[in-house]
Homo-oligomer: A and B are copies of this chain.
Amino acid sequence: MTDARAGWLPHDDLEQARDRVPMVYVEAFPVRVDDRGVVVSVGLLLRAMPDGSISRAPVSGRVHYGERVRDALVRHLEKDLGAMALPQLPTAPQPFTIAEYFPDPSVTGYHDPRQHAVSLAFVVPVSGDCVPSASALDLQWMTPEEAAGEGVAVEMTGGQDRLLRLALAHVGVLP
């Protein structure tokens, strides 16, 4: 039986839904800020991606049936950064952008071979200790300048380098 409220789905059921409707995702770029709120560094995970590559990526994951967007954000931040990251969740439900991932990379530039996903993207300051969890191989902090550089862009996939530049622009630190 499907315990939908808990978000757990038999593999086949999720696969069937994936072929029929867009999935709702959240994405979060964890950042460190100074005492004026200026972003001084951004954290990127190193993880195995849906396309099989090992890539730098933001915190990301599906919103479950019955789950609020805020709760999904907290769950994925905890899953990827550990329980001591102390994220400052956004007060406003408005994401800084919507990234639309399609199996066909030509539609929007955001690409996910598994599914059509509509992703609500946030920048989330964290003030605690971040420890990459099992699903992530590493977590690296870098300055906005480093993050916007070509070296990082080539290590990202699915158009997420573009999403990262948008996030940096939104917080006023895109070089």
- Picked from B4, B33, B63, B98, the residue with its CB within 8 Å of the CB of A94 is B98
Interface residues of A in 54-80 (CB under 8 A from B): 62-71, 74
Contact (Cβ within 8 A) A100 B69: yes
**Which chain B residue has the least Cβ–Cβ distance from A102?**
B66
Residues of B within 8 A of A98 (CB): 69, 93-95, 120
How far, in angstroms, from A141 to B93 measured CA to CA in the complex? 22
Verify if A154 is at the interface (C-beta below 8 Å from B): no
Contact (Cβ within 8 A) A65 B20: yes
Interface residues of A in 31-59 (CB under 8 A from B): 31, 33, 35-39
Verify if A170 is at the interface (C-beta below 8 Å from B): yes
How far, in angstroms, from A132 to B107 measured CA to CA in the complex? 31
With A20-B14, A24-B21 as given contacts, are A170 and B169 in contact (CB-CB < 8 Å)?
yes
Interface residues of A in 1-48 (CB under 8 A from B): 2, 4, 9, 13-14, 16-17, 19-24, 31, 33, 35-39
Q: What count of chain A residues pass the 8 Å CB interface test?
A: 60
With A69-B98, A165-B169 as given contacts, are A19 and B2 in contact (CB-CB < 8 Å)?
yes
Residues of B within 8 A of A107 (CB): 68
Residues of B within 8 A of A102 (CB): 66
How far, in angstroms, from A174 to B150 measured CA to CA in the complex? 15
Residues of B within 8 A of A2 (CB): 19-20
Q: Distance in Å from the Cβ of A43 to the closest Cβ of chain B?
A: 14
Give A90-119 as 1s and 0s: 1 = Cβ < 8 Å from B's Cβ atoms: 111111111010100001100000001010
Contact (Cβ within 8 A) B171 A165: no
Contact (Cβ within 8 A) B37 A88: yes
